Amino acid sequence: MLWGGVCVAGFALTHGLRALIRRRGWLALPPGALGVRIVFATLLVAAITYGLATALSQAVFDNPVAPITQAFYQRLDHEGQLRNEAIFFVIVYAAWIAAYLAITLQRQRYRTEVRQAQLGEALRAAELRLLKSQLNPHFLFNALNGLRSLIADEPDRARDAVTHLARTLRYTLASSDEDLVTLERELEMVDDYLALESMRLAERLRVERDIDPAARGTRVPSMLLQTLVENSIKHGLEPKAEGGTLEINAEIVDGQLAVHVRDDGKGFAPKAEGGVGLANIRQRLQAMYKGRAELIISVPPVGGTCATIKVPYEVSRDAAT
């Protein structure tokens, strides 16, 4: 009866203390305020249990000190035995509450880290959606301008241009929900875009490709290659009266996919900002790869401009199978 009563009281008191800590939000308090409350609570539950133990021992054994306690502390007098029994309950409850706080604080820390990671991922996704929403209208504006000039000059060829534009827009809408697509899909979209530009520029635009077969299944940010191609045509080749050559190369180098878009146009300074398109690419690469990808703008010795994108080599599951 004595030790059964002490055990039941211990479980009841610690359970009640746990409920109090949760309800009052003690774990959110500063360390000093939390420490004061824990010390006071430990002494309180220990005193309650000590009082119950001595009362039950007096009722059962007609002595406030139980026989087993007397055996442990037989060298002490009666007061010393009572004092050591009180210290024993304080130590037991202190260890119990310390273990509870350690486990609970660790769980709380883990939940906080998970929540921060989820918020960071949501912020990154929102940032990428914003960047893509800026990119798509920019591309559409340029494509419609090209189609307008084609309709005015050669209305019979405009129907084919509308077909290519429809496929391009379908890809753009489908990729709005995808951050990464295969390079193969991106090249198909670029082909439609180049078909539109070829109808407008005719023999002024010459295209050369050299794509490593191993690179076609690599996952790349959607609309990335198209932006580089568009930038080369609009700012490099179109201003030249005789036009020029656009080269698209892709290769795997040191565990990275390197995509090169070169033109022999008028070129510009390597440190130039490059307008909305290139600034958008840099922001997307930073948001998606955290420094593991880069955009490099250079001027080849023969003239023109070379834009190189390097991203980690990640093959899609579909391409791998």
pLDDT in tens, 232-260: 888 888 888 888 899 999 999 988 999 99
Residue 2 pLDDT: 84
Lowest mean pLDDT segment, chosen from 71-75, 94-98, 305-309, 314-318: 314-318
**Residue-wise burial string across 161-174, b where 16 or more C-beta atoms lie within 10 A, e elsewhere:** beebbebbeebbee
Whether 191 shows a pLDDT value over 60: the answer reads: yes
Residue 49 pLDDT: 92
Q: In what order do the strands lie in the sheet with 205-211?
A: 205-211, 244-253, 256-263, 305-312, 294-298
> DSSP string spanning 99-134?
HHHHHHHHHHHHHHHHHHHHHHHHHHHHHHHHHHHH
Summary mean pLDDT of the chain: 81
**Residue-wise burial string across 266-295, b where 16 or more C-beta atoms lie within 10 A, e elsewhere:** ebeeeeeebeebbebbebbbebbeeeebeb
Residue 177 pLDDT: 60
Measure the CA–CA gap between 123 and 177, rounded to whole angstroms. Answer: 16
Band of residue 321 on the pLDDT scale cut at 50, 70, 90:
very low
Return the SS3 of 274: coil
Radius of gyration of the chain (CA): 37
Q: Where are the domains of the chain?
A: 2-116, 154-320
CATH assignment of 154-320, among 3.40.50.1580, 3.40.50.720, 3.30.565.10, 1.10.3720.10: 3.30.565.10
